[in-house]
Structure 1
Amino acid sequence: MASLLVGGSVIGAKPAVAQEATSNVDVKQIVANMTLEEKVGQMLMPDFRNWQKQGNSKATGFTIMNDEVASIIKKYHLGGVILFAENVVGTEQTTRLVDGLQNASEKIPLFVTIDQEGGIVTRLQSGTNMPGNMALGAARSEQHAYDTGKVIGEELYSLGINVNFAPDMDVNNNPSNPVIGVRSFSNNPELVSTLGTSLIKGLQDQNIATTAKHFPGHGDTAVDSHYGLPLVDKNQEQLRKVELYPFQKAIDNGVDMIMTAHVQFPAFDNTTYTSKKDGQQIMVPATLSKKILTSLLRDDMGFDGVIVTDALNMQAIAENFGQAEAVIMALNAGTDIALMPAPVTSLATEKNLDNVFKAVIQAVNDKRIPMSRINESVERILTLKIKRGIYKPGTSYTADVDKLVENALQVVGSKQHQAIEKKITADTVTLLKNEDKTLPFKPKKNDKVVVFAPNEDQVLAMKTKIAALVASKKIKPVDVQGFTFANKTFDDSMKKAIDEAKYVITGSYVVKNDPAVNDGVIDDTVIDSSKWATVVPRAIMNYAQGKNKENVIISLRNPYDAANFLEADALLAVYGFKGYSNGRYNQPNIPAGIDVIFGQEKTAGKLPVDIPSVTDPTKTLFPYGYGLDIRNGKLLK
């Protein structure tokens, strides 16, 4: 494959390992020669997730570069953009879109960023998704974490994407956390640090800029910061020992960026602000706190890389602080890049970005934001762009897009990457119960299997994988029937299918355990629409056991929901709920669980978190490190 120059980096060959390429470049002088408008533009990173072209009736996924978006990139001298799933629907399409975005930036190439964490947070619709962080925590392998970063990094690099907003370095020590959960490696800060830094190295070895998030820690929250402001009410000693520990290790190991959390930490900053939403006094979250971003992160922890906010258009920030004011506060706090500072979905809504841009310019002119604050941020941004080969002063972005596409098609979602993904995922499945050697299932020809899961894609993932095992002659031909149960009750059709089946497989998906429905006293067949998540799979389990059917429960997402099924004959955790659609598995976790159920893989995963009782959270049912060997029923060493 021929290689070609792109903004000073080589595409089509193995990326050069990050180097201190700034030694002979006077970044301060470059910044001194920039206009204020150019500097501010470097610090703003909007999304163009959806776009409504003039003359169209509505916004749709922005997948093809157009002159309207190009004009906005040029007008505001933007330093970067963030891509979402709506933007990256195919390999060739994504490569051409990224190339178009870079061509729109006249002087300094863009940070083209994405949240490709692996697991449940993936954007590339043609990429290799990997099993996710908590699954990696179950595997306990630094090599698996490194290989995950390497695979993701190779795919991003081939597409021209140069920044990954990953890994998530939160310590998930709150089982009720609605937004982190399996995005975290563990509730153990040491394991989070070890695997997180390995994944960072894997990404950086592909010359992808990495991001530890969400500082100072989003793991011990029970509120989704997309909608509200969570508060972590711990003292500084507790926070330094747990929440801050992985971030310090990431800093010590050369992470490129740190993303902030929209979370309140009164131990570090209890400053209040009058909410624009309702006039109430609220504590300033970390994203907008100088005490946290400058005094703690910069001065105390020694981070001199790029600080990027979490999305500033999230309700918790936008509603309480206002778009322009939030950006000004974030920059004054020590942020270098304001992510998604205002929604821009058309030329008609460009005014949202324009208002923010002009407000920041005015704040600098009025000395509300010191010019020194702007300069130091732009110096950090350009230093990182040079280090990662994104920007080579004196040259502009050039590329042969057809060769880029040719290379990307060989890399993204390749068979080699899928093989690595399968190998890693096989080591993550965790066996929590296996009474009377229920597993593995050993069906005879034409035995009936019934599978249950909340959603159709999950049912389809199970059925597709079982069919593949039959087709490859790994198991005898079986008759498989599937049911979804989201927002449903346990009905006669489900009972009939169990009656006729020999084997029953149920996928459970619970984001947050609820003691009101999980104590086993509610009638399993009479539920309101919000209680199906635990009540229906319990009903399936109880009925199958009453009929002496061989049955297993698979915890599809957060392993904490295993606490609802202590009476299960067999219980697995796979740490990933995405199923099968559009001809592909959207995560490898469910098929890995099916492999274990039918004896195609041993179990190697050990819990990366404690699983507490639902009704008594002080009681641990399955401790950190727990996992059974399917071959002998003993605890894994």
Structure 2
Amino acid sequence: MRKLSCVLISVALILIPISPCAGSGAIAGDASEPLDQYVSGMSIEEKVGQLFMTTVIGTELSAVQAQLINKNHAGGIVLYSYNFQNTEQTVRLTDMLQRNAGNIPLLIATDQEGGRVTRLPMGTNMPGNMALGASRSLENASRAGAVIGRELKALGINVNLAPVLDVHQNSSSSAIGIRSFGAGPQLVADMGQAYLKGLREAGVIATVKHFPGHGDTALDSHAGSPVIPYDLNRLRNVELRPFQQAFNSGAGILMTAHVAYPAIDDTSSYSSKENRYLYIPATLSFKVLTGLARNEMGFKGVILTDALHMKAVINYTGSQEEAAVMAIKAGADMLMVHTGLEKASQRVIDAVEKGEISVFRIDQSVKRILELKLNNGIIKISGGGIARGDAFSLGIEERISRAGAIVGGQESRAAERSAAEKAVTLLKNENILPFKPEAGSSIVFFAPSKESLAVMESAIESAVKEKGLNNVRVRGFAYKLLGGLTDQHKIALGGADFVIHGTCSYNEEERSPQGWRAAFSNDLISRADALHTPLAVMAIGDPYDIAFIPGAKAYLAVYGTAGGPNVAAGVNTIFGLNNPTGKLPVPIPGSDGTGLLYPEGHGLSLFSAAP
């Protein structure tokens, strides 16, 4: 009962201005006064707490979790898919998080990038960054940021961990792939700038990531220790260009990459976990975070680490607690820890008390975090203390009502569909498209997974209906892990008038000519050719699948996932309901990752004008 009492008391504290007193973390004075005098009144525990962004489990805030946040003075919370159920639940969750935050309201963040990485089951996902890059439309990118931003703000989420500014230079990258706007540094910079503009106009703080770049690594830093070996001249011209443009426009948060850049910092340390020497990851490097981002490139905002439990960091430091200390020394302002908040926080406090980290260094980060919150209406200075900012001016029931009208609304869905259709890229068409079914036609389709089966079926049926056709038979099969056609497939193909083959891969291994995807696809294409049945291939994920199915006579890329608007946009294109205008935002190499099948900028149309 004592724990619950602490939680309820914290609710009362947050609702009124806090009078200045020793150790309270109170702000004295008004917004025109320097933040340092406010920070000087905070205890070391309160200061260190502001440096941590952590997680909560589930769709409701338990008393135990509320006390953990309050006791440790957490500066931020990051929410994941498991935290979201519906609109009302999410508004109530973010409200309870803020009411139990202690003296200073929280940064509440999520990864709603769009496309492949989205967290909201009820939100408007938009087609994703590479799809936006394919459209070459700054207006689409800005609208994507605005649509996503409005929905997040309505739900009580004030930080989007987006956009991704990694330049996609490696076709085998599974970590980034279609999360990137493309392979051209200026394309990524311009599209990212437009996306940032949309988020800013919606009143949500943007996070540019993953600095100084994660776009040319085959290895995911969740699973290992990636290295980008290029010299500084290449890095400045490619990886760093989008970040510099974002810094110049006043980006609020920078998220670090757990990637080593020996051309910037060649510090190395022996890893007992890896049994070898490893270069220092950017997240832990003073030369990268302070020397490059702060001093050379002029970043003024908050530096947030990617999650500190990831292998690229733990392999180097041995523990999350040591990673926290090293990251602060390097220049990070906020540390993302999913679990182990108390241990990591205490390790940093101990480091300060022992003189390992100076109070001055902690104060620098606290000031940046409070300034970010102040500038975005999360806090305000009132009555001699910190109070909840203008972002909390509406009551909970009114916020729920507003969110219900905004999240997943018709206007947002229309923008999503339009952006997805403008992204569709037709790479190859040997007089196969558009399909022109008639009443009584049979359409057979193959989906790469059970998840995409229902999405493709719905999209095909909608397209047939829009064309005003009756009695069209639609039959689909999921072929995951199958190395070739089954007897059932062959029978269905024998009666098909049109065939749609959905493919989906996200890395080079999945596109191996020896893998099941290639085996099934080539068997299907050969069978359709023998039957003289028109077949169109739709690459649902990465656009590179054509490398392992060179026999395809019609091939289009939609840059999406099993869900989202991309599949429907691709299907509409196959049936001539959308004239594709997308251009490849990346080059397509051969099946071995070398050579060039299609250059960046390639893209065909079905019609000279929109149908």
Deviations 1:602-636 (A, max 9, x none): 01100001001113x442110010000111599xx
- Cα deviation 1:430-476 (Å, max 9, x = unaligned): 0001102x111111112111111111121111111122233445444
Structure 1 match to 2:341: 353
Give the drift of 1:279.
4.8
Query: Percent sequence identity over matched residues?
Result: 42
The one of 536, 554, 565 equivalent to 2:549 is 565
How far 1:286 moved relative to its partner? 0.2
Tell whether 2:371 aligns with 1:383: yes
| Alpha-carbon distance in 2 for matches of 1:459, 1:183 | 23
| CA deviation profile, 1:392-441 (whole Å, cap 9, x unmatched) | 123533552111100100000001100111111110000001102x1111
Q: 1:497 aligns with which of 487, 492, 496?
A: 492
Separation (CA, whole Å) in 1 of partners of 2:269 and 2:142: 42
The aligned counterpart of 1:335 is 332
Q: TM-score, normalised by structure 2?
A: 0.91
Q: Partner of 1:628: helix, strand, or coil?
A: coil
Aligned position for 1:18: none
CA–CA distance in structure 2, aligned partners of residues 187 and 378 of structure 1: 36
CA contact (8 A) 1:203 1:210 kept: yes
1:167 maps onto 2:163 in alignment: yes
Equivalent of 1:67 in 63, 72, 76 = 63
Change (3 A) 1:475 1:292: farther
Please name the residue that 1:191 is paired with.
Answer: 187
CA contact (8 A) 1:510 1:534 kept: no
Give the Cα–Cα distance (whole angstroms) in 1 for the partners of residues 468 and 374 of structure 2. 51
Aligned to 1:597: 574
Q: 2:533 aligns with which of 519, 544, 549?
A: 549
Q: 1:475 to 1:367 in 2, by over 3 A?
A: farther
The number of equivalent residue pairs is 575
Cα separation, partners in 2 of 1:222 and 1:633, compared to 1, 3 Å: farther
Q: Residue 207 of structure 1 aligns with which residue?
A: 203
Which residue type is aligned with residue 229 of structure 2?
D
Q: CA 1:158–1:514 in 2, change beyond 3 Å: closer, same or farther?
A: closer
**Contact persistence 1:514–1:614 (CA under 8 A):** no
Residues 339-418 of structure 1 aligned to structure 2 (within 5 Å): 339-340=336-337, 342-343=338-339, 352-394=340-382, 395-397=386-388, 399-418=394-413
Which residue identity is paired with 2:567? I
The residue correspondences of 1:374-523 to structure 2 (distance < 5 A) are: 374-394=362-382, 395-397=386-388, 399-436=394-431, 438-490=432-484, 491-514=486-509, 517-518=512-513
Secondary structure in 1 matching 2:250: coil
Q: What SS does structure 2 have at the residue aligned with 1:38?
A: helix
- Call closer, same or farther: CA 1:596–1:311 in 2, change over 3 Å: same
Q: In 2, Cα distance between the equivalents of 1:516 and 1:317?
A: 29
Q: Is the contact made by 1:289 and 1:333 (CA closer than 8 Å) also made in structure 2?
A: yes
Report the 3-state secondary structure (helix = DSSP H, G, I; strand = E; otherwise coil) of the residue aligned with 1:93: helix
**Paired residue for 1:263?**
259
> For residue 40 of structure 1, what is the amino acid of its counterpart?
V
**For residue 35 of structure 1, what is the aligned residue in structure 2?**
43
What are structure 2's unaligned runs of at least 5 residues?
Answer: 1-13, 17-29
The separation in 2 between residues aligned to 1:632 and 1:409, in whole angstroms, is 41
Q: CA RMSD in A?
A: 1.8
Do 2:226 and 2:312's aligned partners in 1 also have CA atoms closer than 8 Å?
no
The one-letter amino acid of 1:441's match is F
Q: Equivalents in 1 of 2:528, 2:508: separation in Å?
A: 23
CA contact (8 A) 2:539 2:559 kept: yes
Of 19, 22, 26, the match for 2:34: 26
Name the structure 1 match of 2:101. Answer: 105
In structure 2, the residue corresponding to 1:534 is in which secondary structure? Answer: helix
- Report the CA distance between 1:330 and its aligned residue: 0.5
Letter matched to residue 239 of structure 1 = L
Contact map agreement 1:434 1:633 (CA 8 A) in 2: no
The 1-side partners of 2:313 and 2:568 are apart by: 39
| SS of residue matched to 2:415 | helix
SS at match of 1:505: strand
- Kept in 2: contact 1:148–1:199 (CA 8 A): yes
| Mapped contact 2:259–2:282 kept (Cα < 8 A) | yes
Per-residue deviation, residues 509-562 of structure 1 (Å, max 9, x unmatched): 1222359942xxx6xxxxxxxx21222122111211111111011111111222
Once residues 70 and 31 of structure 2 are traced to their aligned partners in structure 1, the CA distance between those partners, rounded to angstroms, is 29
Please tell me whether the aligned partners of residues 552 and 570 of structure 1 are also in contact (alpha carbons under 8 angstroms). Answer: yes
Q: Could you say what secondary structure the match of 1:392 adopts?
A: strand
Pick from 581, 599, 603 the counterpart of residue 623 of structure 1.
Answer: 599
* Contact 2:114-2:127 within 8 A present in 1 as well: yes
User: Scaled by the length of structure 1, what TM-score is found?
Assistant: 0.88
Separation of aligned partners in 1, 2:530 and 2:479: 20
